[in-house]
Structure 1
Amino acid sequence: MKDHLNNYQLSTINFMTAFLPEFIGTALLLLLGNGVNANVSLNKAYGNSSGWIVIAFGWAMAVFVGVYVCASLGGNSHLNPAVTIADAIKTNDWSKVPVYCAAQMLGAMTGAFLAWLSYRSHFDATTDGNAMLGVFCNAPAIPNTFNNLMTEIIGTFALVFGAFSISGAKMNDIGISLGAIDAVPVALLVLALGLSLGGPTGYAINPARDLGPRITHFLLPIKNKRDSNWGYSWIPVVGPVIGAVLAALVFKAFH
């Protein structure tokens, strides 16, 4: 009985300190990120056609809120499977990867659903299927498999290497922790990436950020929606993972 109680307590601690903070942080990231996409893209929204600066700034603030809240709940504020994989490479500790990635994917789907719910009337008032899909996930401005993949690799490399550097992570750390103090510089890093490298692909730089909402788009009963563009969907997953792995290896070589 004591062993069962200890196992239950351990699983509760793991849920509270590993799964739940990443789930909530990622859900907030996508609620606010997809929310700003909806505000700019959907008909009759007050922010309609307000432009790329609003989107880039909105996503930066979404990252700030997600990182800050996740850290306040005791999490490491990865909010991104690519960051989680890179951290596992850096620390040689893969134990949290399945839990974190599951939390991030489910959180991203939940956040995307809540953003749709908030703008449901505006989705109904919009007939452009591409604009509605763009609220949820990314698409290239100029479709080119190699170039689009390279953009996501480069952008995610900059994100992960920058985040590792901001966090002051060392080789003997138990893992990267983007705490409350780091939330502002990480948000500024994402703002810079959006303004500088967001043009070609919309800067997914996060597999959960793109795939989770893309699945949500596929499942939701959205009026006048188009297909979910599954042919492109692998690029915002594979590109960020490659970029994150390369960033972790380079960071490890210097530390």
Structure 2
Amino acid sequence: MNSHGVSLASDSAVTFGDQRTYNTVNKIFPLGGKDSGHRITFMISGGARHLPTGMLWERIFGLFYEDRIRAKQPTEFDTVDCYVREFQDYLNTKHNLPNDAPANSVSVQDNLRYWFLTMPPVQRRLNEQQTRDQFLDMVGIDHDKLGLQLPSKENLEDFLDSWQEIIDYQQERHDSNEWRQRFLRVEEHHNDNSKFVASDIVDTLDLKPKRERKDLLRRIFNLHLALLYEPAKQEGREWVNGSTTIAVAGFGTQDIEPRL
């Protein structure tokens, strides 16, 4: 950010669960698109969804523009803070969003993906998959046919194999009735979520043997959820952190320099 403008750059951390390309996911959204006349951009970090409704933030920003901004001129927003207050009011008062949130499953699945796919060995594998695809586009021959072995493939397999020891260790360390009850609750409420995300990741990373890797990932995710399980201060339970940080950057009509 300087006196002439602002540049936003997002990392490649994956938080979306809607079959987007994992290493090119978009997390930066100009308000109303580039040609709206409003020099405001949203950037998200963390959970991809608005938890009260389960909707993707990308869709929330679009509905906010249509409901509160489209009919107004940029001159009605003197500062970036004006946009922020309008957006906060939109979320907190009457709006055109659905009233009822979907099942908690979507949020849990998104968080499991984010937790696993941001681990360094997995990130390296995703980056090398992109390199492989670019190589195939340029040369026209799959790297495997040329005998080229990407180093992260073995590293990721070793990383996954090490999880069996971690699972065994945690089960021995938490050998108590309270822990067993906690783990049973996880399997009862979230085993299907763990299976769904495990299958998705095995296909995305082309892990083999598929059946064994899916089952290992399912157990990894169930362990992760059990370790996160804590009594909430009031009724109910907290399973995963689904919070989102939103950065709003750009210009209001009276802003001399960009604001964040």
Q: TM-score normalised to the size of structure 1? A: 0.29
TM-score normalised to structure 2 length? 0.29
Identify, as 1 or 2, the structure richer in strand: 2
Larger Rg: 2
Q: Which has the higher helix share?
A: 1
